[in-house]
């Protein structure tokens, strides 16, 4: 009986920890910004914007691994040179905006700036 009770207590503590972790995740702030993908082997650069820079690389890498990236030139570089040849870098982090539309407009403008500055393809 003692073991069963101890497991039940452990489950309650585990649930509280899980709830605290979920609450902390929901309260975290996402950082918007502009990123670049470089392929030195192909001599290509792609620039894009993301409302959450912490997640965008995983999303793009997943799309590329599955062969479902909507950007054909990026997918072609991945297929030809492999994952090792692509370099992900954050080129600019945006300040936190209260209004979502203001943040989206600022992000769009900064992506356009970096596409022109780096001679890159927008993604």
> Which pLDDT score is estimated for 111?
97
1-20: burial string, b at 16+ Cβ within 10 Å, e else: eeeeeeeeeeeeeeeeeeee
> Which pLDDT score is estimated for 1?
46
pLDDT tens string 67-110: 999 999 999 999 999 999 999 999 999 988 777 888 899 999 99
**pLDDT greater than 70 at residue 5:** no
Phi, psi dihedral angles at 11 (to 5 degrees): -65, -40
Contact status, residue 48 vs residue 111, Cβ threshold 8 Å: yes
Q: Tell me the CATH number for domain 33-122.
A: 3.40.1440.10
Domain-by-domain residue ranges, the chain? 1-29, 33-122
């Amino acid at each position: 009986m003692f073991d069963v009770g101890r497991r039940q207590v452990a489950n309650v503590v585990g649930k509280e920890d899980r709830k605290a972790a979920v609450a902390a995740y929901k309260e975290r702030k996402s950082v918007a910004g502009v990123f670049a993908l470089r392929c030195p082997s192909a001599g290509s650069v792609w620039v894009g914007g993301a409302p959450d820079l912490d997640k965008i690389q995983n999303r793009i890498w997943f799309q590329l691994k599955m062969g479902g990236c909507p950007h054909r030139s990026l997918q072609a570089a991945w297929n030809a040179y492999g994952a090792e040849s692509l370099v992900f870098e954050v080129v600019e982090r945006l300040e936190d905006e209260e209004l979502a539309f203001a943040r989206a407009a600022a992000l769009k403008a900064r992506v356009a700036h970096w596409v022109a500055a780096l001679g890159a393809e927008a993604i």
